[in-house]
Structure 1
Amino acid sequence: MIDSIFTAMSGLEGHQKGLKVISNNVANMNTAGFKASVVDFADVFTGAGSERRREATGSGVDVSRTRLDLRDGDRQDTGRDLDVALEGRGFFVLQDEEGRLRYSRAGGFEFNDDGRLVGRLHGLKVMGRDGAGRLEPIELTGLRGNPPKATRRVEFKGSLYSTDDAHTIDALTIYDSTGAAHTLKLELTKKAATGTGSNVVTWGVKVLEGINELGSGEFSFIGSIASPFGSSIKLLLPLSNTAPAEVEFVLGPDVRGDASSTTSTLALAQQDGYAPGDISALAFNEKGQLTVTYSNGQSATGSTLALAEFASDEQVQAVGDGLLEARLGIAPTLREAGADLKVRSKTLELSNVNLTQEFSTLILMQRGYQASSQVLTTANEMLQQLFELKGRR
């Protein structure tokens, strides 16, 4: 009967631990990236040797083993640029202040004041991989701004009609080497047709900044097609307040010199310069690369998210804050996103807690606790009766 009491006590403690695990799972049902835990019940058997083993009885239940359920949770769109979720088997890699690596499926990240990518809740550094595959913190070093680029090529679209006499392109903006903008005006004047059959039409071009003429040249057409030798003008422009800049003005491939209208439509198609740019957006692409968009329309890529993959669920254990650590002596495989492990931007993985399953297990734990309690009560009553019988002798 004494053994029965201790066996029943192990049942009470085991189901109490099971209840604690369930309550923790349910409490974290809205914790991003949370992985539910499952208690494994095992019987405790006493006795050794083949002869005694046939007579030995169980000694209760062992619930010392708790494992993680690492199945994927549902994903939810958040609209936040630095929220990322994984689709497939793997974890984000983070590093704490002591240099220890931690792993998580919670991809709610942000850049701190030092320009370092960290977990939004715990502040741990998010790790990426350099060109040699080594782990390094993801930072904005070298990406905080985009340097200017001087305009070297200006391309036009539209048409210069042969029945028109003059055309002006106003407010054409180009940039010098410091990123300063310069507003130019192009004045085009048709010259007399020359060549066999008078099919060559030439347009004189003047480039002005304000009232200052910076340079001039000619565009020419053979019929309606730009002449191979007259489709571009390369000029050294003495722009104001800066060093002279060499700029090529080019007729785009679709520019024509048709006579079907009296109004020319030649206009700027594109130019390759731009001013300095500040960061306007940060996000991760499907390869896990940090992409930076700047206010000047340019973009750049930074580090790539490092991802960890373990051979089995038993190789990791929870340490709190939605973080996991590798069990002693186990190292994961470090990799990048691929066909089997995808990065979803502006998305978070939710908890994988299944409330229906948790409530079903809760009922079983309650019944097990009640049954163990009843066994303990019965064993206690039998023991009291035994003492009463002994006292009557």
Structure 2
Amino acid sequence: MSFKTSLSGINAANANLNVTANNIANVNTTGFKESRAEFADLFSYTSYGLSRNAIGSGVKLSNVAQQFSQGNIDPTGRNLDMAIDGEGFFTLSKNGARVYSRAGNFQTNAQGFVGTPDGARLQVYPPREGGDGFDIGRVGDLQLLTTDSPPRQTGQVNLMVTLPADTQAPTVTPFDPAEPNSYSASSGGVTVFDSLGVSHTQTSYFVKTGTPNEWQVHNYVDGEPAGEPVTLRFSDSGALVEPADGRIALDPVTPSTGAGVLQMGLNLSGSTQYGEEFQLRDSRQDGYAAGKLNEISISADGVVFARYSNGADAALGQIALTTFVNPQGLQAQGDNTWAETHVSGTPRTGAPDSSDFGQIQAGALESSTVDLTEQLVNMITAQRNFQANAQMISTQDQVTQTVINIR
């Protein structure tokens, strides 16, 4: 019996060395969680059960427990590198099976799908139709768009101007955009876009009338009038009072490019009549041309954006994180992934930075949780345990040999 007891000790020390060796081997593995060998003592049962003075029968390896503590987050500067700061696992689809990982060193394949180096695809909540949030009722593969961003036709031009209060009506009449002396001020050209992304120029000309606090605005697109002149009136304190909401509907313009009808509005709200000089305080429009993909960015709540050269952003999905009641019950699958078991409990999936789910840090990776110094100490301890149990076998052999030699 004593030989078996010491042999169980050797096996336990060897298992401890194996666990320590695996930890040391993965000291630089992204998202790796160190393991700990856990042991239990053994007792032999008789037909009468265990005696109060029973001597133990050795030791057994009861569990190899992975320690799901937070690893250090190290910046990398690479867009598709991600780290989870807090609870949760990346949700992956590997050949149709659901697996989970803390390693965020993702990359794209030839079709633009984002996944791990071994091909497991990152799962996200897809955007809803119309771009209003995400469909949290289902998950799908994250695929980066490789096509251009389509153009957006201009619908509104926003101008905010300050017209000079002391200006007199122009001496040259009638108004002619080619004659600078026939108008008091101009907004300059605002670039607008038709449905094909072709640029056009919208210009507003301001003409002071003979009536105090009254102006007329003439609107042109590509040098052609876009409607009749519109009267602007200001209060004696300089605020725009007519039109009341500051909005002017421009006449439809049919571009020669073959694009659809360009129907725009002009918003002058916030414009004033002060001082002695014309000022263009704001000039914006809501259209843009087609754009090339510039970069992929990821927010703390896991929303993946495609950013284009035309300034447009497109949300491609929101990363789905998964947590478990008992992460210790997960089954390691290799390649930095785990699979659920009945011991781990039912997976619960949600969005980052909500409930108890951690945040996403883009351009960073979670390092291994292995403390190399601690593992070297464990190695020395396991080695001495191995030697001590081996010495016990040697001692027991000598005792047995002595008994055999008794005459």
| TM-score using structure 2 length | 0.82
Mapped contact 1:162–1:201 kept (Cα < 8 A): no
Determine which of 136, 139, 154 is the counterpart of 1:135: 139
Instruction: Report the Cα offset of residue 144 of structure 1.
Output: 4.7
Matches within 5 A, 1:61-210: 61-63=59-61, 65-97=63-95, 99-119=96-116, 121-129=117-125, 131=135, 133-140=137-144, 144-164=147-167, 165=170, 166-190=184-208, 192-194=209-211, 199-209=212-222
Mapped contact 1:154–1:248 kept (Cα < 8 A): yes
Distance in 2 of aligned mates of 1:205 and 1:302:
42
Comparing 377-386 with 99-108, which one deviates more in the overlay?
377-386
Code of the aligned partner of 2:152: K
Would you say 1:220 and 2:232 are equivalent positions? yes
Match of 2:129 in 1: none
Mapped contact 1:41–1:63 kept (Cα < 8 A): yes
Distance in 2 of aligned mates of 1:148 and 1:355:
54
Determine which of 270, 285, 294 is the counterpart of 2:308: 294
Match of 1:237 in 2: 253
CA RMSD after TM alignment = 2.7
Distance in 2 of aligned mates of 1:327 and 1:208:
66
Mapped contact 1:84–1:343 kept (Cα < 8 A): no
Instruction: Report the Cα offset of residue 270 of structure 1.
Output: 0.8
Distance in 1 of aligned mates of 2:241 and 2:111:
56
SS of 1:158's equivalent?
A: strand
Matches within 5 A, 1:333-344: 333-337=348-352, 338-344=354-360
Distance in 1 of aligned mates of 2:50 and 2:215:
113
Code of the aligned partner of 1:152: G
Structure with greater proportional strand content: 1
Match of 1:256 in 2: 272
Identical-residue share of aligned pairs (%):
28
- Which runs of no fewer than 5 residues in structure 2 stay unpaired? 127-134, 171-183
Code of the aligned partner of 2:388: A
Distance in 1 of aligned mates of 2:255 and 2:228:
14
Mapped contact 2:24–2:375 kept (Cα < 8 A): yes
Distance in 2 of aligned mates of 1:322 and 1:67:
15
Match of 1:370 in 2: 387
Instruction: Report the Cα offset of residue 39 of structure 1.
Output: 0.7
Match of 1:380 in 2: 397
Distance in 1 of aligned mates of 2:64 and 2:49:
33
Mapped contact 2:200–2:221 kept (Cα < 8 A): no
Code of the aligned partner of 1:362: M
Distance in 1 of aligned mates of 2:239 and 2:327:
69
Would you say 1:21 and 2:19 are equivalent positions? yes
Determine which of 223, 239, 247 is the counterpart of 2:264: 247
Distance in 2 of aligned mates of 1:245 and 1:201:
29
SS of 1:374's equivalent?
A: helix
Post-superposition CA distance 1:150-185 (Å, at most 9, x none): 112111123221444532343320000111111344
Distance in 1 of aligned mates of 2:350 and 2:227:
56
SS of 1:170's equivalent?
A: coil
SS of 1:127's equivalent?
A: strand
SS of 2:292's equivalent?
A: strand
Code of the aligned partner of 2:297: A
Code of the aligned partner of 1:151: T
Match of 2:130 in 1: none
Instruction: Report the Cα offset of residue 116 of structure 1.
Output: 1.4
| TM-score using structure 1 length | 0.85
Distance in 2 of aligned mates of 1:184 and 1:357:
70
Would you say 1:361 and 2:378 are equivalent positions? yes
Post-superposition CA distance 1:373-393 (Å, at most 9, x none): 211221233333344x16xx5
Summarize the Cα distance change of 1:216–1:345 in structure 2 as closer, same or farther, 3 Å threshold: farther
Summarize the Cα distance change of 1:213–1:314 in structure 2 as closer, same or farther, 3 Å threshold: closer
Mapped contact 2:204–2:217 kept (Cα < 8 A): no
Instruction: Tell me the number of residue pairs that the alignment of Structure 1 and Structure 2 aligns.
Output: 376
Distance in 1 of aligned mates of 2:215 and 2:49:
113
- Which runs of no fewer than 5 residues in structure 1 stay unpaired? none
